[in-house]
């Protein structure tokens, strides 16, 4: 699924649901998404996903709530 999006997300605004640790959304940013918002009901998942975005240097593109 992550590879399948690489030609779709370039320059797009991406919304991800049930994001968990944010890997799908982070891949979207690596593939050229303009902005990415990931949503999850779990505070722990949101915290970890935002941390993962920061570790990947994508905190200016990827945000989780």
Tell me how far apart the alpha carbons of residues 58 and 41 are, in angstroms, rounded to a whole number. 21
Domain holding 32, by residue range, is 13-64
* 21 located within any domain: yes
pLDDT digits (tens, 9 = 90+) for 11-63: 999 999 999 999 999 999 999 999 999 999 999 999 999 999 999 999 999 99
In the chain, how many domains are there? 1
8 lies in a domain?
no
Tokens 């722990």, residue located: 44
Q: Which residues contact 51 (CB under 8 A, 6 or more apart)?
A: none
Q: In this predicted structure, what is the pLDDT of residue 44?
A: 98
Backbone angles phi, psi at 43, to 5 degrees: -60, -40
Looking at the predicted structure, is the pLDDT value of residue 3 above 90? Answer: no
CATH code of 20's domain:
3.40.50.150
Size of the chain, expressed as the number of residues it contains: 65
User: Quick check: 1 pLDDT over 90?
Assistant: no
Could you tell me if residue 5 is inside a domain? no
How high is the pLDDT of residue 4? Answer: 83
CB 45, CB 19: distance < 8 Å: yes
The mean pLDDT value for 4-8 works out to 87
């Amino acid at each position: 699924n992550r590879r399948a999006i690489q030609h779709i997300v370039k320059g797009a605004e991406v919304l991800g649901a049930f994001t968990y640790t944010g890997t799908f959304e982070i891949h979207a940013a690596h593939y050229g998404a303009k902005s990415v918002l990931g949503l999850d009901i779990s505070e722990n998942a949101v915290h970890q996903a935002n941390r993962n975005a920061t570790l990947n240097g994508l905190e200016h593109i990827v945000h989780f709530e």
